[in-house]
Structure 1
Amino acid sequence: MNKFIALTRKSVAYMGIGYLDTKLYRLVDSVDGEFTWQEAEQGFKPNVLILSRQHYHESCKQYPIENTAEVKKLIRLELSANDGLSQFVTYKQQDGKTASNQWQLNEVLGAKIVVPESFLIGYKRPHFDVTEFQSEATQVYVVNTPQGIVSTVKGGMIQDVNAFSMASGVRTINSDDSSLMSFQQFAVFTAAQLPKLLAQYGVSLLVKQEKKLDFQELVKPLCLTLGGAISLYLVVSSAYLELQGYRIDAQIADNTEQVNQALSIQNEYNMLTEKLLRQQAFIESQAVKTSFWFVLEPLMQQAKFRTIRFRNDRYVLNGETKQATKLLDMLIQDPLVTDAKFDSQIRKSRNNEVFTISFRLKEAG
């Protein structure tokens, strides 16, 4: 079993994992069995590329919407106005709100999957515990919060965890629980954590291609670790059975648990590829800019929404604004809207008005 685990870990080195800092590195398995970053040879094209913090812009947002699918539509609408490549992930909704991390990418180097280093480092960390990562060229602070990952490059006014807390607006950082990660430790960390991250978020981290990809090329980065583990297991098991044929009955009993693990990995791979196909088909066949979001977008500039619900064929908006009647007038004048009205009396809250407005969308035709 130890030999199998060692060979499985080595298979990660053949996934074609790259790390782009000031130079391009490749994840390799050294002679002593430790993973390390090695400067990439000329012509190396990574399948999976990890970007250092200097190569992307990061933001985290919260949306007052419970339905994750609707949040994803809104985010795609927002990102469609930006130039260049973008990525985002969403998290489980809490208290009627859905949190999201979004990244604007500067470089992808033709990779099929691109992973921001702050997301890889922070997505499994306890909330408000800081990781200070020292790469070959830069130093980065990363913290996981209920609203998403927050990170920044060390430099200028940001020279310690307290300055990072003030600059990022995260006031409850546990400075006593900060941890340091060296460049070498990051290599070992990547080998252990990247396959888990891809299993959970691989579809969201795919880079949109200009042309339709062959299916095998599209899923290759996602399944190399899983497929490699299964293949290595079968090779090791076959060789062992050939050499120890006289103990075949006992060997089958000993390997029952390992076979079950391999089948479990195969099932996860099948589910992941099916999900990928559904996501690709959905993105190609569905229009992101639905009429509801065209109605909502100008309203979000005028009001702060607490909840957005859909009940009895009506969209119900609850929130606060400077002048609620102006918001209702905007809906009444919108050619996509019908039967807009207040569902309850306007209430005063400090300098704002609290409202509940509902409306229907006109049927297309």
Structure 2
Amino acid sequence: MINKKLHNWQLPLKPYLYANGIHQLDGKDWVSCEQQDLTLSSWRDCAVILSREHYVEQQKCYPVSNLVHLMRVIKVETQTLSPFGGQTFWSIVGKTPSGWLVTYWSVPQDVIVGLMGKFKVVLPESLLLAESVDNGIFETVGERGLFLYKQGNHFQSAIKNNLINSSHYFCNLVNRDDLVSQSTLLSYEDYQSRLILSFKKFNLLLLPGLVIPSKKEAFDIERLKEWKKPAIVAVALLLSYAVGLSIYLHKQEEHYDQLLAGKQQEMRQLLAQERQLGEVITYIEDYQFFTDSNPGLIVLLTSLEGVEELDVQIARVDLTGNQVNISGLAPSATSLFAFLSQQPQISNLDFSSTISKDRQTGLDRFQLTFTLSEVKNG
């Protein structure tokens, strides 16, 4: 409900485009702006569309039910996904039966530096186009072609080039050869109108992971990897949700004032929702403080996520700095060893004692030691 209400709004934003430089919409065409003459002082100038050429796009699905745990995973992903120095933006685009669907856009550092201090939010071109179309294969017409495949909340995009020069090759890339004959061509005018409308009706709940770092923050990739840095992303998502819920509650109050003035029970329910929201905010702030204070524990929990599928019974965990010792029972201690050896945060994995059989359960009794490679204390 909140998502739908926010998505129906049109924000009075001025459209800007970053495509090898900043451009401003003049009628139906994008006109280059000289950066030294560009003055962006109004909040209407806060957002910029980022051309598809300037980012690497990835989409992942996480079988996580708890949003706080999802934010923890996203924090780790944004520090490791980028194939080059820069910043990785993200949006939680939906939920599937398999889990939460998150899209990432990795942007080079020189582009980020060109946007810092001028804009507050970056809106990827492919995300805006995906928000404006139904399911299917789409191709823009013109000298610069853009391909998009969308199915529900999942989408993939690519720029037309020598390797991907037709919808046939793009459908093959996304493993949907059955849709070649159903490809939809978008004229330049249709594409531009969709892009601008999607820009002005942008879903605010997708916004938290698209904030551009300010000039006041030293843009240092190594600093971004520090576990002690506050989880700004989680707070931004929470604030966005709080804004959406507050708007919804305000509309509900007006409705009950006009039509159900005598029904105080409904009003009490609304107040209870506000109190519950305050409790949620307090809980997440406490959880965030705990995770920031215990970086090694967070890395460890992330590394061990999934061992329950191996029916492992962990009896003891000792964490000292980045050194970990665990012991317990498992149907196959070697299978557990193989699973842990595939975790990127784990190194120097070894058995600290021989494997033995537990007489009562028949399970392997194990003791393992390893090093967490990304823990920074302080």
TM-score normalized by the length of structure 2: 0.53
What are structure 1's unaligned runs of at least 5 residues? Answer: 1-7, 31-35, 213-217, 223-255, 257-270, 306-315, 356-365
Q: CA deviation at 1:74?
A: 0.9
Q: CA deviation at 1:165?
A: 2.2
Q: CA deviation at 1:93?
A: 3.1
Q: CA deviation at 1:290?
A: 4.6
1:206 to 208, 211, 229: 211
| Mean Cα deviation higher: 201-210 or 170-179 | 170-179
C-alpha distance in structure 1 between counterparts of 2:294 and 2:213, whole Å: 18
Q: Please name the residue that 2:163 is paired with.
A: 157
Q: Please name the residue that 1:114 is paired with.
A: 122
The answer to whether structure 1 residue 318 and structure 2 residue 309 are counterparts is yes
Q: CA deviation at 1:332?
A: 7.9
The answer to whether structure 1 residue 38 and structure 2 residue 30 are counterparts is yes
C-alpha distance in structure 2 between counterparts of 1:112 and 1:187, whole Å: 22
Q: What is the CA deviation profile of residues 275-329 of structure 1, one whole-angstrom value per residue up to 9, with x for unaligned ones?
A: 9xx7xx96996639754541255557xxxx4xxxxxxxxxx7215xxxx98x979
Q: Is the 8 A contact 1:73 1:289 kept in 2?
A: no
Q: Is the 8 A contact 1:112 1:207 kept in 2?
A: yes
Q: Is the 8 A contact 1:113 1:205 kept in 2?
A: yes
C-alpha distance in structure 1 between counterparts of 2:57 and 2:31, whole Å: 26
What are structure 2's unaligned runs of at least 5 residues? Answer: 1-8, 218-235, 241-257, 259-273, 340-362, 364-378
Q: CA deviation at 1:51?
A: 1.2
The answer to whether structure 1 residue 143 and structure 2 residue 149 are counterparts is yes
TM-score normalized by the length of structure 1: 0.55
Q: Is the 8 A contact 2:57 2:105 kept in 1?
A: yes
Q: CA deviation at 1:37?
A: 2.7
| CA 67–337 in structure 1, closer or farther in 2 if over 3 Å, else same | farther
Q: Please name the residue that 1:77 is paired with.
A: 76
Q: RMSD value over aligned CA atoms? A: 4.6
Secondary structure of the structure 1 residue equivalent to 2:196 = helix
| CA 27–71 in structure 1, closer or farther in 2 if over 3 Å, else same | same
Q: Please name the residue that 2:89 is paired with.
A: 87
Q: CA deviation at 1:84?
A: 1.3
- Aligned amino acid, residue 87 of structure 1: F
Q: Is the 8 A contact 1:27 1:187 kept in 2?
A: no
Q: Please name the residue that 1:125 is paired with.
A: 133
C-alpha distance in structure 2 between counterparts of 1:329 and 1:41, whole Å: 63
Q: CA deviation at 1:66?
A: 2.0
Q: CA deviation at 1:50?
A: 0.8
- Aligned amino acid, residue 308 of structure 2: L
Secondary structure of the structure 2 residue equivalent to 1:188 = helix
Q: Is the 8 A contact 1:332 1:340 kept in 2?
A: no
Q: CA deviation at 1:134?
A: 4.2
Secondary structure of the structure 2 residue equivalent to 1:54 = helix
C-alpha distance in structure 2 between counterparts of 1:292 and 1:284, whole Å: 13
Q: What number of residue pairs does the alignment pair up?
A: 253
Q: Is the 8 A contact 1:89 1:204 kept in 2?
A: yes
Aligned counterparts, 1:286-325, within 5 A: 287=292, 290-298=295-303, 305=306, 317-318=308-309
- Aligned amino acid, residue 162 of structure 1: H
| CA 155–41 in structure 1, closer or farther in 2 if over 3 Å, else same | closer
Q: Is the 8 A contact 2:94 2:102 kept in 1?
A: no
2:197 to 180, 188, 192: 192
